[in-house]
Homo-oligomer: A and B are copies of this chain.
Amino acid sequence: MLKKEKIKLLKKMKLIRLAEESIAEKYSDQKMRCPVHLCTGQEATAAAIGLLLNKNDYVVSTHRSHGHYLGKGGNLKKMLAEIYGKTDGCSKGYGGSMHLIDLNVNFMGSTAIVGNSLPVGAGLALTIKIERSKKISCIFLGEGCIEEGVFHETVNFCAVHKLPVLFVCENNLYSVYSSLLFRQPKNRSIAKMVNAMGIKSFSIDGNDVNKIYELASKELPKIRSGLGPRFIEFKTYRWREHCGPDFDNHIGYRTEKEFQKWKKKDPIQQFQTKLLKNNEITKQEIKKIDKNLLNKINLAHNYAEKSPFPKPSEALKNVYAK
């Protein structure tokens, strides 16, 4: 990875982190009135994959999609405006945090029913194949989604048609407050399973952004050149509560200790430390990056807060396309 790329990557991770944390901070103002699923702690995948995808590559995602949206280059102001329920929101306030879209970067939509966007991603990939273009359709999912039948149907369909799909599965060990232990067979490898289903699969540390970048840069060209779909499992951890701005290690489904263990693996801290150690960045530069990002995020919140609410009567529009 070039130094330039590394800085980009760091910036992208930080953008996601700081944006999520800004939502957490301001959520108690009661102005963002919709459920939010923050991805703090999971920024590495979103940033690395997002950076490696081309602008016209397609992305679909899930309820926890802020990072994927920003990673792909989605408009921050419009994302926040959407969470605030404003007309300038990326979905004009109709969708809320769980339904993001940015057609400028082919972020085609995140949806809130577990597994719902998977076959949609496959359909996008089908058109790429028909058009013989070199695009990719990237599908983000959580490990809970593996339990939905539609995941297996989608994998099968993509394998049969050798579609240009990258499955990005962030395994953060939990689905809401349910541990993997009660949802999937013990010691079963998700990647090995998907491999046996017919898609070349990998499983890597989801907090090591270097490795993610490396693996993805190797596999994406293969997908583009028609070698078929790829599936990558990223082992990671969400820091905050399943839904909302707080922490929930005290309520009983996971331990503070486990959380602290994962917090030490902070993908951003790890990466930054390495960059510093290798003299690829200075503390000064980091400060500047942080400051710029915080500034940008503050401006975006201001923009979102100032944007008007859509009129109630607008609710009756947009049911049918013309």
The interface of chain A, by Cβ under 8 A from chain B, is 147-153, 156, 159-160, 182-185, 188-189, 192-193, 195-198
Q: How far is the CB of A231 from chain B (nearest CB, A)?
A: 13
Taken together as a complex, chains A and B put the C-alpha atoms of A184 and B158 apart, in Å, by 10
Partner of A149, one of B149, B189, B198: B149
Ordered by A's residue number, 21 sampled pairs between the chains whose C-beta atoms are within 8 Å are A147-B153, A148-B153, A149-B149, A149-B151, A149-B152, A152-B152, A159-B185, A159-B188, A160-B182, A160-B183, A160-B184, A160-B185, A185-B197, A185-B198, A188-B196, A188-B198, A189-B196, A192-B196, A193-B196, A193-B197, A193-B198
- CB-CB under 8 A from A147, the residues of chain B are 153, 156
Q: A148-B153, A149-B151, A149-B152 are in contact. Are A195 and B198 (CB under 8 A)?
A: no
**A201 CB, nearest partner CB in chain B, Å:** 10
Minimum-distance CB pairs A-B, first 6: A149-B149, A185-B198, A196-B196, A152-B152, A159-B185, A193-B196
Measured between beta carbons, the chain B residues less than 8 angstroms from A150 are 149
Q: Does A153 lie within 8 Å of B149, measured CB to CB? A: yes
Question: What are the residues of chain B within 8 A of A149 when measuring CB–CB?
Answer: 148-153
A149 to B147, CA, bound (A): 9
Interchain CA distance A147-B150 in the complex, whole Å = 10
Bound Cα distance from A151 to B152, whole angstroms = 9
Determine whether the beta carbon of A188 is less than 8 Å from that of B197. yes
CB of A152, distance to nearest CB on chain B (Å): 4
How distant is A292 from chain B, measured CB to nearest CB, in Å? 45
Contact pick for A156, options B156, B184, B192, B195, CB 8 Å: B184
CB distance from A185 to the nearest CB of B (A): 3
Q: Across the interface, which residues of B come within 8 angstroms of A182, CB to CB? A: 160
Give A183 to B160 CA distance when docked, in angstroms: 7
Residues of B near A148 (CB, < 8 A) are: 149, 153
In the complex, what residue of chain B is closest to A197 when comparing beta carbons?
Answer: B193
Among A152, A160, A189, A198, the one with the most B-chain Cβ atoms within 10 Å of its Cβ is: A152
> Considering the chains assembled together, what is the distance between the CA atoms of A150 and B153 in angstroms?
9
Q: Give the distance to chain B from A251, nearest Cβ to Cβ, in Å.
A: 23
Most buried by B among A147, A153, A195, A196: A196
Given contacts A149-B152, A195-B196, 17 further A-B contacts (CB under 8 A): A147-B153, A148-B149, A149-B150, A149-B151, A151-B152, A152-B152, A156-B184, A156-B185, A159-B185, A159-B188, A160-B185, A184-B198, A185-B197, A188-B196, A188-B197, A189-B196, A193-B193
- Please measure, in the bound complex, the distance between the C-alpha atom of A96 and the C-alpha atom of B138, giving whole angstroms: 46
From A153, which residue of chain B is reached at the shortest CB distance? B149
Please give me the residue from chain B that is nearest to A146 by CB atom.
B156
